[in-house]
Amino acid sequence: MRLFLSILFISTAFTLNDDIQGKWHIVSYDAIERIRMSSAYNNADISDQLKLEEQFKLMLESAFYEFKSDTLTYSDLSNGQLVTRRALYSINDDTLKIKEIDRSFDRKAIINYCSNDSLVIVPIISGKSGTSKIVFIK
């Protein structure tokens, strides 16, 4: 039985790593709706709300994650601009670990779902799984 579970676990890990390969585009991010519903957002002046909406639009229309072998190229918002980052990544169980190459910055996320054409992750913040899902499609 142990051997069967070990083989099942290993084959699942290989499948996940194969499925995640390729270029992904963000189609939704729950945190955006949470921000829009927050009192800080709703009490902000219109110009600040519009700036945030521009960043949301930029992220949803242009952001990507591209997984190749053990390397990840992805876009990130920095000072209101979309920048490209490079990182090494690994997958352990259901946890995606990202370690940037050009700066000292690490990220983690729980992989909720991964198939040939869709990916759902939940960022880990301060060591705890967050509540906002990021949904990607190829």
What is the residue-level pLDDT of the chain in tens, covering all 138 positions?
554 444 444 444 445 677 899 999 999 999 999 999 999 999 999 999 999 999 999 999 999 999 999 999 999 989 888 999 999 999 999 999 999 999 999 999 999 999 999 999 999 999 999 999 999 999
Alpha helices in the chain (DSSP H): 2-20, 30-37, 39-43, 46-62
Query: What is the C-alpha to C-alpha distance for residues 45 and 59, in angstroms, rounded to an integer?
Result: 22
User: How is residue 5 annotated by DSSP?
Assistant: H
16: domain range? Answer: 2-137
Query: What is the C-alpha to C-alpha distance for residues 94 and 113, in angstroms, rounded to an integer?
Result: 9
CATH (domain of 14): 2.40.128.280
As for how many domains the chain has, the answer is 1
Q: What is the pLDDT of residue 137?
A: 97
SS3 85: strand
